[in-house]
Amino acid sequence: MSSILKPVEAVGWAGIVAAKAVANFPSVLCRRTGREDLFRQLYATGIRTLPVVTVVSLFMGMILALQVGLELARFNQETLLGAAVMMTLLREMGAFCCGICLAACVGSAIAAELGTMKVNEEIDALVILRIPPMRFLAAPRILALILMAPVLAFYCCIIGAVGGGFVGATQFNVDFQQYMSGAFVMSEAKDLYVGILKATVFGFLVGVISVAEGLGTTRGATGVGKSTQRAVIVSFLAILISGYMVTRLFY
Amino acid sequence: MAEKMIEFRNVVKRFGEAAVLDGLTFDVEKGEILAVVGPSGTGKSVTLKHIVGLLEPDAGEVTVATDRIGYLFQSGALLAWKTVWENVALPLVETTRLKAGEIDRRVAAALAAVGLADDAAKYPAEISGGMQKRAGLARAIVCEAEVILYDEPTSGLDPVTSAQITRLIRDVNRTRGVTSVVVTHDLGSAFRIASRILLVKDGRAIVCLTPDEFRRSENPEARAFLAAAEGEGL
Ligand SMILES: Nc1ncnc2c1ncn2[C@@H]1O[C@H](COP(=O)(O)OP(=O)(O)O)[C@@H](O)[C@H]1O
Ligand SMILES: [Mg+2]
């Protein structure tokens, strides 16, 4: 009984967090202190993710170029390498790399931070001071992830494309200039939009899941560890499942 | 008869099967300091959380005559990424429309009242546990709380700092007329500052007496508690 109810409860709680956080977005943007918090979160999101996301997307691009290049080489179509790599990045892998890096670097940090605050009674203290945690803590963090995810996903595509170009030039004798022009000329606006949309969805999901896990923490320091772990695992699952569904919707 | 600030009538609170509060009845008069003592795990913190509305009773009634309630958590519960000044200013910044100058004036006054004027720019991690509690108290004062609840304000502190905090609780009570409920294991400080001492055991009120009455009480539970506390070297 309880094993069936637990996931239902968890989804319900995440839904409540999502609804309350979104309802508080206007007050984050309208208040000076809210905007300051938002900028601090945007900065933290970018800084925490940038090193990892750079390496991940660089190698993702290189792997893609290697795999695709080997197939294209069989038909002497290496000139299409840039276009093929860029399309894969825009449609799928850019947003995906960005999503998993956000979950690992930012989602985990949010769950740990809010979980620690919960077990230190700081959340209770805020409630008593009449500062709603959903407005003060949840909304700026989730909004920062929603805003930052598409930017980072675009960055992933560019870095990945460069990585692919490097592999193209060194392994398949594809001129870098030619590769890049192929990548940009042949890529479609729709691919970019879908990728950006996907990244935004990932940012939202990682934010909601991490905040819900953090604020739902019980049982002291071990509870914080559990919440952090669950925030990352559930975010990964949500990214994969929602990524498939967005792709289904548009292609 | 003095005005009642807080009233508990047969309050029952269960977590799962076990009733943590099991028909708790007591009241707190306006302007007094009520010390709440009793063994660990008898629901003292749970009692405070009912007063402030973090928990709702399963049965019985909790009435509080004000909504201006401050709560001093054991940890101080300050935000780690804000300075002492910003922590104390937070409730004013976030929930009022006061001008910056007025906020500054009130925060400075509250910090001076708890003796933290010189440490305003420090972060919570950079100050001692006693100072964190004083900062938490300043945050309650700045909201002009009419009731302040203290959850074990002196536990984990050295004797000198404990005495300082105890004095501060009394000063805040006297100068501002703040009704205070102090959960404590420190019977010495309870005897020094409390107008009445409430002994809670197994979720019920055993006795509620003035310090003198408590010392002379014939109640076996009160005697046993007193003897145990004295055994610890009171
Ligand atoms: N939110 C809660 N959920 C479940 N059990 C709780 C909760 N809060 C307190 N309890 C339980 O209630 C009992 C009394 O707790 P507490 O009021 O903290 O005791 P104390 O008198 O030492 O302050 C403990 O056994 C504790 O485990
Ligand atoms: Mg307690």
Determine, yes or no, domain membership for B73: no
In this prediction, residue A1 has a pLDDT band, given cuts at 50, 70 and 90, of: very low
For residue B38, the ligand 1 atom closest to its alpha carbon is 21
% of chain A residues with pLDDT over 90: 78
Domain boundary among B145, B167, B200: B145
Q: Which residues lie closer than 8 Å to A197 by C-beta, 6 or more apart? A: A246
Determine, yes or no, domain membership for B204: yes
pLDDT tens for A205-214 read 999 999 999 9
Instruction: List C-alpha distances in Å: B172 to B4, B192, B226, B231.
Output: 19, 15, 27, 31
Domain boundary among B145, B175, B195: B145
**Placement of tokens 């548009």 in the chain:** A250
Residues B164, B126 share a domain: no
- The count of domains in chain B is 2
B147-159 average pLDDT score: 89
For residue B44, the ligand 1 atom closest to its alpha carbon is 21
- Using the predicted structure, report yes or no on whether residue B199 has a pLDDT greater than 80: yes
- How confident is the model at residue A24, as a pLDDT? 92
Scanning every residue of chain A, which has its alpha carbon at the shortest distance from the alpha carbon of B49?
A: A124
ipTM, two decimals: 0.88
Contact list, A124 vs chain B (CB under 8 Å): 49, 54, 71, 73, 77
For residue B200, the ligand 1 atom closest to its alpha carbon is 21
- How confident is the model at residue B232, as a pLDDT? 61
Q: What is the pTM of this model?
A: 0.89
* Of the candidates A213, A29, A20, A30, the residue with the CA atom closest to the CA atom of residue A116: A213
CATH number at residue B196: 3.40.50.300
Instruction: List C-alpha distances in Å: A93 to A49, A136, A153, B43.
Output: 16, 33, 9, 53
Burial class (CB in 10 A: 0-12, 13-18, 19+), A7: exposed
Mean per-residue pLDDT of chain B = 90
> Is the Cβ–Cβ distance between B141 and B89 less than 8 Å?
no
Q: Which of residues 120-179 of A touch B (CB under 8 A)?
A: 120-122, 124-125, 127-131, 136
Residues B166, B107 share a domain: no
- How confident is the model at residue B195, as a pLDDT? 93
A145-157 average pLDDT score: 96
Structure tokens at B121: 């720019």
Determine, yes or no, domain membership for B75: no
Determine, yes or no, domain membership for B74: no
Q: Please count the residues of chain A.
A: 251
Q: List the single range of A2-16, A144-158, A183-197 with lowest mean pLDDT.
A: A2-16
Domain boundaries, chain A: 33-250
Residues B35, B24 share a domain: yes
Scanning every residue of chain B, which has its alpha carbon at the shortest distance from the alpha carbon of A28?
A: B94
Q: A219 C-alpha to center of ligand 2: Å?
A: 15
Of B54, B91, B139, the CB nearest to A124: B54
Residues B164, B232 share a domain: yes
Residues B58, B23 share a domain: yes
Determine, yes or no, domain membership for B46: yes
Instruction: Report the sign of the C-alpha dihedral through residues A34, A199, A19, B15, in that order.
Output: negative
What residues make up the domain containing B141?
Answer: 80-145
Scanning every residue of chain A, which has its alpha carbon at the shortest distance from the alpha carbon of B89?
A: A129
Task: Tell me the C-alpha distance between B138 and A111, whole Å.
Answer: 29
- How confident is the model at residue A224, as a pLDDT? 94
> Is the Cβ–Cβ distance between A164 and A85 less than 8 Å?
yes
Residues B60, B151 share a domain: yes
